[in-house]
Structure 1
């Protein structure tokens, strides 16, 4: 139990050492990962049911060769594609936002360093260390969140592409 409390205290100290911008990066990261997990759960649990309904709807049709049937097939695929792609643009925006927030933290940290230099009148390394730490921690946090999110974003996009092609193959047009 005490190890868990120490772990939480270490995380709290880390967040406070990064300043207000690191808290903002944490909020963006939480939203980003909730969206990523939601999409992964969608493909694991909900999408198979949607695909089955779409295939059943198509298979109930008698006409599968007319131009009208082609439009219905395209509409079915498009509806499923829209549902699969839901949230992906927001995930991309949040991934792009993370490095920018990291750079904002860098600027805030450097402003703190220059403020310390102007107050003390010299280059006291100890006095400047907290500002430099704030600058590097936020940059690192923004980049780590963006890179890890980028991997899963690409994974989701590939899944959307693969599943849409697979669904198009399943809905046979004669």
Structure 2
């Protein structure tokens, strides 16, 4: 139970923007896990079926057969790359949302300074905390997905190439 209290305190200290960062992070990692699941379990089955269908074709050498092969490979490549661009977009959005937290935190500081002057450092420190925590959180969220997004893109490319290699043109 203490862990949840710590998380709640952290989210509250960063202001409302931190909830948005957490939501984007949750969506990003849900998409990442979906892609990993697809690459590990769904794609191999689909690829085996496609390869078997290609090998069972009577004609694999004509121009029409080659165009069918290219279309099938293109369809599978599209399935492999589905969602990767969205994940990369979420990675790029995280720091921007963090910067929005910086702006809202600094607005809080300036409002406090306008109302009460610079006499209460505690109030100013809360505003500065509210400004820095979302920035840091946005950067950490982006970094957590940056490597994985690049790896997913690379994996999709390699799997599409391997599929093309396993469907010979005879």
Rounded to whole Å, the distance in 1 between the matches of 2:128 and 2:19 is 17
- Secondary structure of the 1:130 match is helix
1:67 maps onto 2:63 in alignment:
yes
Could you tell me how far apart the structure 2 residues matched to 1:61 and 1:40 are?
31
Structure 2 vs 1, CA of residues 114 and 70 (structure 1 numbering), >3 Å: closer, same or farther? same
Aligned-partner SS, 1:162: helix
Per-residue deviation at 1:173?
0.5
Note the residue ranges of structure 1 that are not aligned, 5 or more in a row: none
User: For residues 115-170 of structure 1, what are the alpha-carbon distances to aligned partners after superposition, in whole Å with 9 as ceiling and x for unaligned?
Assistant: 11111122532120111111111001100111111111011001001101111110
Indicate yes or no: 2:48 matched with 1:52.
Answer: yes
Structure 1 position 89 matched with structure 2 position 113: no
Q: Give the 3-state SS of the residue equivalent to 1:173 in structure 2.
A: coil
Secondary structure of the residue aligned to 1:148 is helix
Query: What is the number of equivalent residue pairs in this alignment?
Result: 170
Q: CA RMSD in A?
A: 1.0
In structure 2, distance between residues paired with 1:137 and 1:58 = 55
The alignment status of 1:99 with 2:95, answered yes or no, reads: yes
Partner Cα separation in structure 2 for residue 94 and residue 139 of structure 1 = 15
Give me the whole-angstrom Cα distance separating, in 1, the residues matched to 2:118 and 2:30.
Answer: 46
For 1:118 and 1:10, locate their aligned partners in 2 and report how far apart those are by CA, in whole Å. 32
Q: Distance in 2 between matches of 1:13 and 1:117?
A: 24
- Runs of 4+ in structure 1 off by over 4 angstroms are none
- Segment drifting more, 59-68 vs 14-23: 59-68
